[in-house]
Amino acid sequence: MDKLKIEGGHSLKGEIEISGAKNAALPILCACLLTQELLELENVPHLQDVETMLKILEHMGVGCFREKQKVSLNAAGLNNPYAAYQWVKTMRASILTLGPLLARYGEAKVSLPGGCAIGARPVDQHIKGLEAMGAEIHLEEGYIIARAKRLKGARIFTDMVTVTGTENLMMAAVLAEGETVIENAAREPEIVDLANLLIQMGAQINGAGTDIIRIEGVKTLHGARYAIMPDRIETGTYLCAAAITGGDVFLRRARNTILDIVLDKLLDAGCTIHLENAGIHLKAPPRLKAVSLRTAPYPAFPTDMQAQFMALNAVAEGVATIRETIFENRFMHAVELMRLGADIQIDGANATVHGVARLLGASVMATDLRASASLVIAALKAEGETTIERIYHLDRGYEQMEQKLSALGAQIKRVR
Ligand code: EPZ
């Protein structure tokens, strides 16, 4: 299994480009199931999760063609509405095929995702919403078996804010009979990106980005050409990497309107930030100040940036408290950061981080996607060499991370 070796202590300087967003690309790829016509996508990142989704779609009979950052999809030949466990177990976002398959094809067999390192992550709200739209759903040998002649519009109130739940129900509703209203909807920018594509395909959607989304179903959708938004979590991750090393970087194509609270926290930590149309420029002080945070659904602080900020606070001046409200087991990176010399106490959903003067390189293990990003950030600061194992987690969500960090002056190499 590949490992990363990082020699810390080098300040990041220079310019890199931000890739397309993983969490927008995954639902957007599934939208191809809603039409018989060609969907041409641009700015599609090269990530393990994207490759897995393309395999799942191909297995369903979708024609997939990829050239660099462009992906063309044609689901006219869709003939096998089945997402197998072998893929779903590696990527729970496969559940996003369920809504569009039911809406367009009237039946679907999709493996239940099962648990994940960061939490139980059930999909009961996805199922509840589809049943409210008239789908007949039962579970059989670990699979969701769903059928519906034509889905009917419904008023759906989700018990908690769910990102992929909102996306699945939105994609189901665009071809349903009548109006669907999703209340307590997630407001993440990736949901707006998906809605913008669906509207371009002929869907009638109002309120994406707010907590009430109204969808008037139509009979058919047509093809479209669409460019996927830049990745705000990748952006936040590189801003943190620059901040912890006292660096000075420009992130080309980063969108500054969807990262407010993350940028605010970096300003509180002492960074200087310039927002430009072409991207985001960050200059960091020699030592950061500790910043406390509480994760919650957008526009509050994203849980997908919690681990990276724990790494920042590990060497900041002062004490920070971190409260994780979305996932019940998302502090796995803390014990690994402690192997580098961090001083962290965990008490259920709360972490207290006492900033230390220095971290020392060691061998550490990645446990999930964002945890691995926090270990890379800490390793860039740690004295000496750090080895990070199980970086397949990283490859799921970061395109060419070692190349991008090397371009900013990091001493990093992948050991196959
Ligand atoms: C999306 O996951 C993202 N994944 C996650 O990013 C992100 O952490 C999460 O939203 C929260 O922002 C993608 O977009 C592919 P949720 P999702 O449904 O949709 C509970 C990354 O690092 N819940 O919003 O699966 C759930 O257990 C990944 O890129 C139910 O109980 O998250 C959690 O506690 C990790 N029942 C909470 O709601 C349901 O039916 C929010 O989960 C659905 C969710």
Structure tokens, 173: 């509703």
Instruction: Report residue 120's pLDDT band, with 50, 70 and 90 as the boundaries.
Output: confident
CA distance 358 to 309: 16
Other Cβ atoms less than 10 A from the Cβ of 37: the count is 17
CA distance 21 to 15: 19
pLDDT at 115 over 80: no
State what percent of residues in the chain have pLDDT above 90: 96
Cis peptide before 100 (omega within 30 of 0): no
Residues annotated as catalytic (active site), given as ranges = 116
Nearest CA to ligand 1 atom 8: 304
Find out whether 20 and 253 touch, Cβ atoms under 8 Å: no
pLDDT at 118: 87
Order of strands across the sheet with 212-216?
A: 155-157, 179-183, 212-216, 204-206
Kindly state if the Cβ of 124 falls inside 6 Å of ligand 1: yes
pLDDT at 114 over 80: no
Ligand 1 centroid, distance to 229 Cα (angstroms): 19
pLDDT at 416 over 90: no
CA distance 392 to 395: 5
Q: For ligand 1, what atom is nearest to the CA of residue 122?
A: 36
Q: What is the mean pLDDT of residues 108-132?
A: 92
Ligand 1 centroid, distance to 228 Cα (angstroms): 20
Residue-wise pLDDT tens digits, 348-362: 999 999 999 999 999
**Burial (CB count within 10 angstroms: exposed 0-12, middle 13-18, buried 19+), residue 347:** exposed
pLDDT at 117: 81
Instruction: Return the best residue to mutate from 162, 235, 301, 325 for the ligand 1 pocket (most ligand atoms within 8 A of CB).
Output: 162
Q: What is the mean pLDDT of residues 79-103?
A: 95
Q: For ligand 1, what atom is nearest to the CA of residue 188?
A: 12
Order of strands across the sheet with 385-389?
A: 363-365, 385-389, 3-7, 411-415
Q: For ligand 1, what atom is nearest to the CA of residue 167?
A: 19
* Residue appearing with tokens 């030592």: 287
Find out whether 310 and 337 touch, Cβ atoms under 8 Å: yes
Instruction: Give the type of residue at 303.
Output: T
Q: What is the mean pLDDT of residues 372-400?
A: 97
Kindly state if the Cβ of 128 falls inside 6 Å of ligand 1: no
Kindly state if the Cβ of 308 falls inside 6 Å of ligand 1: no
Kindly state if the Cβ of 162 falls inside 6 Å of ligand 1: yes
Residue-wise pLDDT tens digits, 263-298: 999 999 999 999 999 999 999 999 999 999 999 999
Ligand 1 centroid, distance to 121 Cα (angstroms): 7
CA distance 291 to 301: 12
State what percent of residues in the chain have pLDDT above 70: 100
pLDDT at 119: 84
